[in-house]
Amino acid sequence: MTTVSLKSDVNGVYDLPGRKVGVTRGSLEEAYLTRMGVETLPCAHLGDVVEALRKREAQAAVAHAPELEYLLYKRGSDELRVVGNVFCHVKYAFAGHPSQKELIDQVSLELIRLQEQDRISELKERYFGPGN
């Protein structure tokens, strides 16, 4: 998880108490911030969270870094920025039905090939923008 904010004095998770923070309803982020005592603004979708920031209904947002970076890059945003360090690492995985072993093996091999050819950084730049 990481934080996104309007260009302001929010620089990370420890700046969130005392502010209203947009989150996706029912998410890990919502539960985490609630345990920290941070006021949340639960929204149905991450796009709604970003809109709440733009409308200044929230002062910051917390979500998975790749999702935020992708959304901000694709929508273009001069007023919003991802800030701070990732403060809760969440691993992503692909799952498949055991009967699809051949497909799972193909996906695994392709991911290994992309890593070996150093294409992962190229894909990150393509989907998340330069410097991500």
pTM recorded for the entire structure: 0.69
Under 8 Å between Cβ of 8 and 59: yes
Under 8 Å between Cβ of 28 and 92: no
pLDDT at 78: 72
Three-class DSSP category at 88: coil
Averaged pLDDT, groups of 10, the chain, 132 residues long: 61 88 94 94 94 91 86 78 75 81 89 86 82 66
Report d(CA 6, CA 84) in Å as an integer: 13
Closest listed residue to residue 68, CA positions, set 56, 84, 94:
84
Under 8 Å between Cβ of 34 and 92: no
